[in-house]
């Protein structure tokens, strides 16, 4: 959504940007009509002259068509004032919706940050881009955490202990063919929107962006993380995956499972909810720890769905003492 105070001229100009300026100009009928006129005027000449004239006319038509076709495909036209400054120019047609462009820029930015940050580092970043929409500009700062991707459970267990992350045991059972792929810990981002810390970071990065001549740029700062959000691991069999997550939560708050279809399972005396996701076609088994401070979720792959017994056997290994 654009701000209600956006000038009408801006909206008109935006709509103009959405129209292509690369349309083909079909002048073939006009050129061929001219060729016929030339041919008719030369009727009184001998056959050799008529043939020669026609060939020349045809070659001329081809050259004219080629030139106009090249001209029609050009999109960059600039008009300058007396001082040599560009005051009017064409613009490439817009290829994305607002949401698509925002998502594209964020994805590109985080791919770039993943190359610059070390594992375990968190950055707050600001994207300088006039094409970002007002919804994105309202909350201009984003956070990116470069999680350490552990290739085995032993390394994951060390980080769980070092950072007091939600406990996630190595399961005693996984279906045949599945192997540990990776494990990692995710953090919560701080500070939040509207706080003095947020405004201070925003002003710092916007100042850097303002001093840069780049029209599109990435500006970021390494910042500390404050709180662990979850521990997770994935098991893989070919292209199929089983995801196991443990989320940190405050005791006493209610937890919800979004689903249109669910059944209750009891595993080793622990009540759990087996639910289905109609959008992703995955199923999940969810339960709380005895302390109610950890929410566990096991999710299967729709291409290789787990049976109720398989869900139960994986969970049993996670809650065993």
Give the separation between CA 167 and CA 320, rounded to whole angstroms. 12
pLDDT of residue 47: 55
- Whether residue 200 is predicted with pLDDT greater than 60 in this model: the reply is yes
The band of 31, judged by pLDDT with boundaries at 50, 70 and 90, is low
- Whether residue 94 is predicted with pLDDT greater than 50 in this model: the reply is yes
DSSP state of 304: B
| β-bridge mates for residue 78, sequence order | 89
Which of residues 193 and 273 earns the better pLDDT score?
A: 273
Which of residues 275 and 17 earns the better pLDDT score?
A: 275
Of 27-31, 202-206, 210-214, where does mean pLDDT reach its minimum? Answer: 27-31
Global pTM exceeds 0.75:
no
Instruction: Kindly report the backbone phi and psi dihedral angles of residue 112, in degrees, each rounded to the nearest multiple of 5, phi listed first.
Output: -70, -40
**In the chain, which residue ranges form alpha helices assigned H by DSSP?**
8-17, 28-41, 47-73, 98-116, 134-138, 153-163, 196-211, 308-319
pLDDT of residue 55: 67
pLDDT of residue 16: 41
Of 27-36, 86-95, 139-148, where does mean pLDDT reach its minimum? Answer: 27-36
pLDDT of residue 61: 58
The band of 19, judged by pLDDT with boundaries at 50, 70 and 90, is very low
pLDDT of residue 11: 46
- Whether residue 173 is predicted with pLDDT greater than 90 in this model: the reply is yes
DSSP state of 96: S
State mean pLDDT over 277-299.
Answer: 92
CA 190 vs CA 23, 134, 187, 193, 303: distances in Å: 49, 23, 9, 9, 37
Residue 292 near residue 252 (C-beta atoms within 8 A):
yes
- Whether residue 57 is predicted with pLDDT greater than 80 in this model: the reply is no
The band of 44, judged by pLDDT with boundaries at 50, 70 and 90, is low
pLDDT tens digits, one per residue of 122-150 = 999 999 887 776 666 678 888 999 999 99
- Whether residue 12 is predicted with pLDDT greater than 50 in this model: the reply is no
pLDDT tens digits, one per residue of 225-254 = 889 999 999 999 999 999 999 999 988 878
pLDDT of residue 24: 43
State mean pLDDT over 171-186.
Answer: 96
The chain-wide mean pLDDT, for the chain, equals 81
Give the separation between CA 230 and CA 246, rounded to whole angstroms. 5
- Whether residue 23 is predicted with pLDDT greater than 50 in this model: the reply is no
State mean pLDDT over 253-261.
Answer: 84
The band of 277, judged by pLDDT with boundaries at 50, 70 and 90, is confident
- Whether residue 183 is predicted with pLDDT greater than 70 in this model: the reply is yes
Give the separation between CA 272 and CA 156, rounded to whole angstroms. 25
Query: Percent of the chain scored above 90 by pLDDT?
Result: 48
- Whether residue 284 is predicted with pLDDT greater than 80 in this model: the reply is yes
């Amino acid at each position: 959504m654009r701000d209600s105070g956006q000038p009408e001229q801006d909206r008109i100009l935006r709509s103009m940007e959405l129209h292509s300026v690369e349309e083909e100009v079909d002048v073939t009928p006009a050129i061929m009509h001219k060729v016929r006129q030339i041919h008719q005027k030369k009727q009184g000449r001998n056959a050799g002259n008529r043939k020669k004239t026609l060939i020349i006319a045809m070659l001329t038509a081809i050259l004219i068509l080629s030139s106009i076709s090249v001209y029609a495909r050009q999109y960059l036209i600039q008009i300058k004032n007396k001082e040599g400054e560009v005051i009017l120019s064409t613009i490439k047609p817009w290829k994305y919706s607002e949401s698509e462009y925002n998502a594209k820029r964020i994805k590109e930015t985080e791919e770039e940050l993943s190359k610059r940050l070390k594992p375990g580092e968190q950055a707050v970043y600001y994207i300088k881009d006039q094409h970002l929409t007002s919804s994105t500009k309202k909350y201009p700062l984003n956070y990116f955490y470069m999680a350490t991707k552990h290739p085995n459970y032993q390394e994951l267990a060390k980080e769980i202990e070092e950072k007091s992350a939600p406990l996630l045991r190595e399961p005693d059972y996984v279906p045949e063919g599945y192997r540990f792929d990776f494990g990692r810990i995710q953090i919560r981002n701080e500070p939040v929107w509207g706080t003095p810390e947020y405004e201070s970071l925003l002003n710092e990065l916007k100042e850097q962006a303002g001093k840069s001549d780049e029209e599109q740029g990435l500006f970021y700062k390494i910042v500390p993380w404050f709180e662990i959000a979850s521990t997770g691991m994935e098991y893989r069999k070919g292209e199929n995956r089983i995801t196991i997550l443990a989320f940190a939560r405050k005791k006493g708050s209610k937890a919800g499972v979004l689903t249109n279809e669910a059944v209750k399972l009891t595993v080793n005396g622990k009540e759990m909810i087996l639910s289905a996701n109609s959008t992703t076609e995955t199923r999940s088994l969810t339960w709380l720890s005895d302390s109610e401070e950890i929410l566990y979720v096991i999710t299967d792959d729709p291409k290789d769905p787990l049976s109720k017994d398989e869900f139960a056997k994986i969970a049993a290994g996670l809650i065993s003492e």
